[in-house]
Chains A and B, each alone.
Chain A
Amino acid sequence: MSVLWVGMILAAILCGVFTGRTEAVASAAVTGAADAVRLCISMAGLLCLWMGVMEVMDRSGLSGKLAKALRPILRRLFPAFAGDEAVMAAVSANLSANLLGLGNAATPLGLEASRLMARHTPGVASDGLCMFVVCNTASIQLLPTTIASLRAAAGSQTPFDILPATWLASALSVLAGVTAAKLFARFWRD
């Protein structure tokens, strides 16, 4: 992360010297930080409101219902762990929290699930664990509230109108990840 940040700064300075825009770079270096704070303040309202709505979903047991509904699909996705109740509970709870956008709840559940999965194959990522990590690296959030808040902060009139398009793109990306993991599982030679 440090390399990335320092690299960005150096690239900006070098490129600014090269294009003769050092003055613009200098003023950006001074105003960028204030822009970041302003951005966060204008995102805050919508983001907090929907975090509140998600809390209602969570307390009303929606996550639990969703986790139960996911079970049949997950048994197919993780055949090696279908009989392991502890793993299946953690995996389904993690993925349903991800779907609802409850990031704070999803991460500890996901870490628990990957620890439980790794018990059988210490140090090596089994097919099931690879599939689980791939599912977590493909965004499956139903309500991308952070991005909607970002759009609202930038002055969008309809910040949520990207939802159907986002669902389509997410679905295709998850499908690709799952297919790739299944194919790799069949052909991968260590």
Chain B
Amino acid sequence: MSLLFNMVMPGLLAVIALWGMAKKVDVYDAVIHGAANGLGVLARIVPPLIALLTAVAMLRASGFLELCARWAAPALRRFGIPPETAPLLLVRPISGSAALGVGADIMATYGPDSPIGRTAAIMMGSTETTFYTIAVYFGAANIKKTRYAIPAALCADCVGFLSAALAARLFFPA
């Protein structure tokens, strides 16, 4: 099982590379070009992350995040969500870089392979920056009446958080 798992990522790399060769793609050039674009993505992440990680580190140091978790714990526990992820639930729909900062803080505090760290990662992977996306898309289309788009999108987010907690327990039983 662990052999299978260890081979997934290298295998995927090999399959994609071979398939690209079969399609007459200059595979090496594409990887280099994509990696260079990755640096551009990083350059865009760094400035907001500097601002936000400073704020999150201050919140963590002040005890605010623990207070948040303790306050939200009774409600979140009922739904099987670890209360330590409460700050992530708050910022995820609003800002992608804030969520990245809070996620990084959670992983640094509890460990990336801990149940809490894994739940946070799965939450980040199964939800989006809802309000930002809606603002950009409706802004481009010049929409004033958004009708039910926001409540429907928030439904998806709530189910995303719930099922992320569920999936974490299902795939990584403690």
Q: What A residues does B13 contact at CB under 8 A? A: 53
B contacts with A: majority SS = helix
Q: A37: CB under 8 A from chain B?
A: yes
A150 at the B interface (CB under 8 A)? yes
Contact B127 A155 (CB under 8 A): no
Of the listed stretches A55-63, A66-74, A75-83, chain B binds A55-63
Cα–Cα distance between A144 and B125 once the two chains are bound (Å)? 6
B 124-143 to A, binary, CB cutoff 8 A, 1 in contact else 0? 11111110011011101111
Q: Which residues on B sit within 8 Å (CB–CB) of A61?
A: 23
CB-contacts of B138-160 with A (<8 A): 138, 140-149, 151-153, 155-160
A150 to B24, CA, bound (A): 33
Q: Which among A62, A107, A137, A141 is the interface contact of B157 at CB below 8 angstroms?
A: A137
Q: Does A133 contact B (CB under 8 A)?
A: yes
Query: Given the complex of chains A and B, what is the CA–CA distance between A58 and B33 in angstroms?
Result: 12
A165 & B138 in contact (Cβ 8 Å cutoff) = no
Find out whether the CB atom of B41 lies under 8 angstroms from the CB atom of A134. no
Nearest CB of B to A145, in Å: 9
Q: Say whether, besides A12-B61, A55-B37, A138-B160, A150 and B104 are in contact (CB < 8 Å).
A: yes
How would residues 100 to 139 of chain B score, 1 for a CB under 8 Å from any chain A CB and 0 otherwise?
Answer: 1101100110011100011001111111111001101110
By a CB distance below 8 angstroms, the chain A residues around B170 are: 165, 168
Cα–Cα, bound, A1→B91 (Å) = 11
By the criterion CB–CB under 8 Å, are B113 and A59 in contact?
no
When chains A and B are docked, how far (Å) is the Cα of A165 from the Cα of B123? 10
B100 and A52 form a contact (CB under 8 A): no
Report whether A48 and B156 are in contact in the complex, using a CB–CB cutoff of 8 Å.
no
B23 contact set on A, CB distance < 8 A? 59-61
From A37, A44, A115, A170, B50 is in contact (CB under 8 Å) with A37
**If the complex has contacts A139-B128, A154-B111, A180-B152, are A33 and B25 also in contact, measured as CB distance less than 8 A?**
no
A115 touches B148 (CB 8 A): no
Measured CB to CB, the residues of B under 8 A from A are 5, 8-9, 12-13, 16-17, 19-20, 23, 25-27, 30-39, 41-42, 45-46, 49-64, 67, 91, 94-95, 98, 100-101, 103-104, 107-108, 111-113, 117-118, 121-130, 133-134, 136-138, 140-149, 151-153, 155-160, 163-164, 166-168, 170-172
A interface residues (Cβ-Cβ under 8 A, vs B) = 1, 4-5, 8-9, 11-16, 19, 21, 24-25, 27-29, 31-33, 35-37, 39-40, 43-44, 47-62, 104, 107, 110-111, 114-115, 117-118, 122-125, 129-130, 132-134, 136-139, 141, 144, 146-147, 150-151, 153-166, 168-170, 172-177, 180-181, 184-185, 188, 190
